[in-house]
Amino acid sequence: MLAAIATVFVIAYVAIAFEAPLRINKSASALIGAGTLWTIYALSPGAGSQVGEQLGQALNATAQIVLFLMAAMTIVVVIDAHNGFEVITARIRPASLSGLIGLIGIITFFLSAILDNLTTTIVMVSLIRKLLQKSEDRLIFAGVVVIAANAGGVWSPIGDVTTSMLWIGTQITGLFVVKALFFPSLVCLSLPLGIVAFKLRGRQFIGLPSNNGSGGQQASGFERNTMFFLGLAILVAVPAFSSLTNLPPFMGILLGLGVLWLIGDFLHRDKSDEERQRLTLVHAITRIDMASIMFFVGILLSIAALEHTNTLTALTAFLNRTVGRQDLVVLIIGLASAIVDNVPLVAASTGMYSPNSFPTNHFIWAFLAYCAGTGGSILVIGSAAGVAAMGLEKITFAWYFRNVSGLALLGYLAGAGAYLLQHSTIN
């Protein structure tokens, strides 16, 4: 069964990677792959009723992420409909693209530590679309945003789901992970960011004309500012909401979406139906790219199939037996997270290392958080941030591989080296 599961996953992965030449939408490949993987698992000897229960668990986890993604995208669309990004874009007028890419990279890096890498990517890619006119420039900037969001998320206990897993599981403490991973994460971003800035040197910044948001002409300055700051406050408040209530993030952002919806209807209650149409949450929901949502569903369910069939556990056990050295095993796990989701990889890894041998704040736990979090940047479908950027800016797998993967790999290895050097020096 494991051989069949691995074969189907590779075929689906190749189909996604070669979406452009095959002219088959990546969402179709992802959904067919997910359905086939679970079918093989269900028909395997001894599968029994547990398959249905495990599929329900996978669907529950997938639905939480998808609901969060849809709500965050809706909030961003509403802000855009009110021309809210004008609040920022009017103040960002660098003389060159190299200066802008540096600014975007640093903002994304720190914002991801406060929000999370998925939400930050949605916000920053949407902001880039309001700043840059040329499609090729936006693609490069989106690639840097993915690297910066993943690098910025790992050094904060709430910035990346794998770091949060280890934090909640008491493998690491909040202060320790900040001290251990801030410098390696900064190195991980700085190297690719510096290379891209160097390549863009001398190129003049050509922005979009102001007031180009859909419906921007119909929103007053007060309405624009209200929806922008309220929407941003909702996104920022989600991690705090989850920490205080122990509820999953999707519940916090859905609550915030309801508040934004209520305030929006109140602000526009005196407008005619025609004036209100483009400014409402109802219209914003219709503008969400459902094809990208379906791709997300297919990818997450495919990875869940690998997890529940113990394919990923077998992979980590094989690495542990054949490689031996823990730092090399973790480094390879980070590379593997560019292909499969880092959450089940980290879950499988934590089950392999005894708390007695690897206590809280052991060197291996912070290194695992770094590698699993930043390794996903190497391929565009290796992280939630990459998948979100892929849907928002229509990035193809092949384009990202040619133009961004090498930079992300270079940053990943440099940051890993910085962590190992820092650990050996301090300890």
Q: What is the pLDDT of residues 69-100, one digit of tens each?
A: 788 888 888 888 888 877 777 777 776 888 89
- Residue 164, pLDDT > 80, answer no
The arithmetic mean of pLDDT across residues 392-408, rounded, is: 91
- List, for residues 349-377, the tens digit of each pLDDT value: 766 666 777 788 888 899 999 998 999 89
C-alpha 132/C-alpha 97 separation (Å) is 10
The strand pairing partners of 333, in sequence order, are: none
Cβ contacts of 376 within 8 Å, gap of 6 or more: 150, 337, 338, 342, 382, 383, 385, 386
- Looking at residue 351, its pLDDT comes to 62
Give the tokens for residue 10.
């590779």
Contact 135, 396 (CB under 8 A): no
DSSP 173-231: -HHHHHHHHHHHHHHHHHHHHHHHHHHTTTPBP-BPPSS-STTGGGS-HHHHHHHHHHH
Helix (H, G, I), strand (E, B) or coil at 96: strand
C-alpha 380/C-alpha 384 separation (Å) is 9
> pLDDT class for 344, splitting at 50, 70, 90?
low
- Looking at residue 427, its pLDDT comes to 63
The arithmetic mean of pLDDT across residues 306-332, rounded, is: 81
Q: How many residues does the chain have?
A: 427
Q: At what angle do helices 342-350 and 311-322 cross, to 10 degrees?
A: 60
Helix (H, G, I), strand (E, B) or coil at 280: coil
| φ, ψ at 132 (rounded to 5°) | -110, 140
> pLDDT class for 159, splitting at 50, 70, 90?
confident
- Looking at residue 216, its pLDDT comes to 42
C-alpha 175/C-alpha 6 separation (Å) is 39
**pLDDT more than 90, % of the chain:** 27
Taking the CB of residue 166, how many other CB atoms lie within 10 A of it? 23
C-alpha 122/C-alpha 167 separation (Å) is 25
Most confident listed range (35-39, 171-175, 218-222, 248-252): 35-39
- List, for residues 207-225, the tens digit of each pLDDT value: 666 554 444 446 788 888 8
The arithmetic mean of pLDDT across residues 36-55, rounded, is: 87
The arithmetic mean of pLDDT across residues 162-180, rounded, is: 82
Give the tokens for residue 67.
């609901």
Candidates 399, 292, 256; CA nearest to 25 is 292
Q: Can you give the pTM of this predicted structure?
A: 0.76
Mean pLDDT rounded to a whole number for the chain: 84
The arithmetic mean of pLDDT across residues 238-243, rounded, is: 80
- Looking at residue 210, its pLDDT comes to 56
The strand pairing partners of 204, in sequence order, are: 96
- Looking at residue 268, its pLDDT comes to 85
Contact 208, 132 (CB under 8 A): yes
C-alpha 293/C-alpha 291 separation (Å) is 5
